[in-house]
Structure 1
């Protein structure tokens, strides 16, 4: 039963005694407190008291008892049942092996991906190298035919994207793989199919982009190749056509090229390097280019021959022929006669041009010719220009094609201003119209404007 403590407050010169009413009130409170905690349990530890109700106390005691019994029963069961322990150990070993197998499988996948990337990179590098070699070959072809592009049509190389030899490195792949065991602690691993699928799609897209770019570059090079082939074919056809035309004209004139070919032009030289036909497994481009070079060499030989063949007109503008070559009625004696040239009407003072290159052998008054100029073109070919009002060249002078050698007049045995023009082979007069028609056949494309 609780005791009630009375306190007394000491004050200087004063004391206080509790009243009966206050003592009764304290006794009532103490009795009520003792009555409410009559069945509680008090736990004392180091002077501290913890009061617990009977229900909570017995719950705690029952829980402790059950846990103890369960621990004793489990320990006894495991102690006398080796198969359970063996099963647990085997399960752990199986889980470990499963994780190791999964790790090995993933590492194998990583190795395969890396190998595939390296293989793709190698194939890409090979394709790039092949395109670079092809581009270089096309550039060499363009340079080889650049000399003839002006006359046969220009080739503008397409802008091909530049391809460098920088290796394309694959994305770095880490060899460290971190696994997290599932909550149920079984040998199940969560795969990342979504991420792997996205990676594969991205790689496929990149690969498709590279392949597309290489395909576009290859198509561009194909177009350049076809254009070069077409241009080269056109060059060959034009060269062959030109060579055949000049050769046919010279043949019709009865001129043998080896006989009439002049000496080498002045101010030329260099070591002799023969043009050899390609041998072995050469490309069609090389063989075609060789044929074009041969044709151009032949054309050059023909052109140097034509510079000494009088196939151009001796007067400026259209020719107005007043008397042809051959038999005619003499304008003075009115009897049959032989005309060794052709007469071309003109105005006094009109220029007279050399019809071929050569050396002046006569530049003076020559009886019925009047003022006459004779030019030796070599190899038995010569031309005469008569009845001129003025002579503008001297004996021994070298004249070029189209150079003015005098002026039209009416000197000598003439009835009016005109040009008497003769063509001779080995001092024998031949019809000049045969040479002039040959010049018209060749046209300005071969002879230029002086035809």
Structure 2
């Protein structure tokens, strides 16, 4: 045909085609060589496996030994830390036990001192107020990180409280002793002897041999000493109440005449005046100058109406020129007890109280008694 297409004719040979791509010889031989090398190495490894194992095992043993040594060191360190911790715990427990004992002792001391402070207050001796109780201090004590009480801070607080209680006891004893001495000296100046107890009452018991550890606690001994000082002071105070050293008149008055020689208001001559005169309105209340017993109610020459009181010291106070009586013979009176009324009976120029202090038949200057009373009242506050 003429269209350019050619057809093969029967009997003509077909043209040859290009061959397919396959495995290149170089790669094949390379892979084969690697395979042989791997097999050789495997065989060598199998042949020398005991020696390799030994080497590997030797390194492992060294590593294990190193770890075991480190673990042993750590155990020693842990044991040492535990021992230190146990020791510290033991010290803390011992310190806590000591603090507990101190707290118990301080609690007992605090209770004793509180009784003494109250007793001193009743007798007019004021001391600094006690702080918190030991239990309150323990409750308020700070704690450390472990929740235990801060030992140093708690010990400091307890020591401070113990110092305060000891200071309170010392202050009470010192004040009571000083006041007792002042009272005794003042009384001696006016001829009154004060009787004081030497020690606390209510002591005794069988005579037994001493025993170890049987001594009384110093705290108890100190408290007993303070109480003894208060007992003596109480006795001294009672002597003040009993002594005729207090003002014998109430209300408005003036001292119109003193003790000793003076110009007699009736004769105009010098004469001895045996007491003090207190000019006051008629009917003014007359008071007992001290504790005692009314031993006379009646009339005496020159004195008019008279009341006499005998005091524990043996001194007698006489109240004259009275307009009326407010007491009776045999009546017990105290300082300030109303016993009569001011008047102008007897040898008198006008309403006044004639007041005497007598020792037996001898008249004593009442002024020294009144002055002693003022000083003692100032001492007692």
TM-score (norm 1): 0.67
5 Å-filtered alignment, 1:34-433, equals: 35-36=19-20, 39=22, 61-78=32-49, 81=51, 85-146=53-114, 147-148=116-117, 150=121, 151-157=126-132, 160-162=137-139, 206=145, 213-258=150-195, 272-273=202-203, 283=218, 288-316=222-250, 320-433=254-367
The structure-2 alpha-carbon separation of the partners of 1:59 and 1:431, relative to structure 1 and needing over 3 Å to count, comes to farther
Shift in Å, 1:250 = 1.8
The structure-2 alpha-carbon separation of the partners of 1:281 and 1:90, relative to structure 1 and needing over 3 Å to count, comes to farther
In 1, the alpha carbon distance for the partners of 2:290 and 2:367 equals: 15
Shift in Å, 1:310 = 0.7
The structure-2 alpha-carbon separation of the partners of 1:85 and 1:142, relative to structure 1 and needing over 3 Å to count, comes to same
CA displacement 1:64-110 (0-9 Å, x = unmatched): 4333211211232345x5xx654444433333322222222222222
Task: Report the secondary structure of 2:286's partner residue.
Answer: strand
Contact 1:132 1:163 in 2 (8 A): no
In 2, the alpha carbon distance for the partners of 1:358 and 1:110 equals: 86
Task: Report the secondary structure of 1:157's partner residue.
Answer: coil
The structure-2 alpha-carbon separation of the partners of 1:290 and 1:335, relative to structure 1 and needing over 3 Å to count, comes to same
The structure-2 alpha-carbon separation of the partners of 1:317 and 1:139, relative to structure 1 and needing over 3 Å to count, comes to farther
In 2, the alpha carbon distance for the partners of 1:54 and 1:161 equals: 100
Structure number with the bigger relative contact order (C-alpha 8 A, sep ≥ 6) is: 2
Shift in Å, 1:289 = 3.8
Instruction: Pick the structure with greater CA Rg.
Output: 1
Contact 2:113 2:168 in 1 (8 A): no
Unaligned runs of 5+ in 1: 1-30, 41-52, 169-204, 263-270
In 1, the alpha carbon distance for the partners of 2:285 and 2:29 equals: 147
Shift in Å, 1:257 = 2.6
In 1, the alpha carbon distance for the partners of 2:174 and 2:342 equals: 42
Contact 2:242 2:292 in 1 (8 A): yes
In 2, the alpha carbon distance for the partners of 1:281 and 1:235 equals: 21
Q: Which moved more, 1:302-311 or 1:127-136?
A: 127-136
5 Å-filtered alignment, 1:26-37, equals: 35-36=19-20
The structure-2 alpha-carbon separation of the partners of 1:72 and 1:307, relative to structure 1 and needing over 3 Å to count, comes to same
Shift in Å, 1:57 = 6.7
The structure-2 alpha-carbon separation of the partners of 1:368 and 1:70, relative to structure 1 and needing over 3 Å to count, comes to same
The structure-2 alpha-carbon separation of the partners of 1:346 and 1:73, relative to structure 1 and needing over 3 Å to count, comes to same
Contact 1:380 1:427 in 2 (8 A): no
Shift in Å, 1:354 = 1.0
The structure-2 alpha-carbon separation of the partners of 1:340 and 1:127, relative to structure 1 and needing over 3 Å to count, comes to same
Contact 1:376 1:383 in 2 (8 A): yes
In 1, the alpha carbon distance for the partners of 2:338 and 2:374 equals: 21
Shift in Å, 1:148 = 2.1
The structure-2 alpha-carbon separation of the partners of 1:410 and 1:295, relative to structure 1 and needing over 3 Å to count, comes to same
TM-score (norm 2): 0.77
The aligned length equals 347
